[in-house]
Amino acid sequence: MKSSQYPAQDLKRRVLSWAVKLKVNPRAVRVQDMRRKWGSCSSTGTITLASDLLDQEQRFQDYVIVHELLHLRLATHGRMFKALMSAYVPGWRAMEGTGQHRFAESTDRQEARCDAGGIDEHTVRHRTRKKGNSATQHGTVAVHVENSV
């Protein structure tokens, strides 16, 4: 990727480019400091990306961008979500299990806001599974959906 004087704006433009491909319309796109996650999707349609993502490879940025944008269509990480991830970002499962993925590095529960698909506010909690579990070996992240209060 070509170096730019405004890398955050370039990242936002790439989000909008992916949004066209995925046929979604985020309400807003923000790049800001985020300590525990690479990105989030709010129930109001705002995509927020970690400013640290600017230091990552473009392929990993695309993985995070597509993941968050797909939450504008699908609230959970079900079969359809995974199929769309595979269609748009081949090899995404390998990236999910790498040290680049903040959820894979921590045993703490992580929160990410996602579009609830017409349902009121929900919180999606990501946590990694214990070592030795076949899901971890394949780079899967467990997801728990709870109603927000």
Q: What is the DSSP letter of 45?
A: S
Identify whether the C-beta of residue 27 lies closer than 8 Å to the C-beta of residue 46: yes
Tell me, yes or no, if the pTM score tops 0.75.
no
Percent of the chain with pLDDT over 70: 61
| Dist CA 102 CA 84 (whole Å) | 22
Identify whether the C-beta of residue 127 lies closer than 8 Å to the C-beta of residue 142: yes
Query: pLDDT tens, 36-65?
Result: 889 999 999 999 999 999 999 999 999 999
User: Does the domain at residues 7-147 carry the CATH identifier 3.40.30.10?
Assistant: no
SS3 of residue 116 by DSSP = coil
pLDDT of residue 4: 63
Query: pLDDT tens, 63-104?
Result: 999 999 999 999 999 999 999 999 999 999 888 765 454 544
Identify whether the C-beta of residue 99 lies closer than 8 Å to the C-beta of residue 89: no
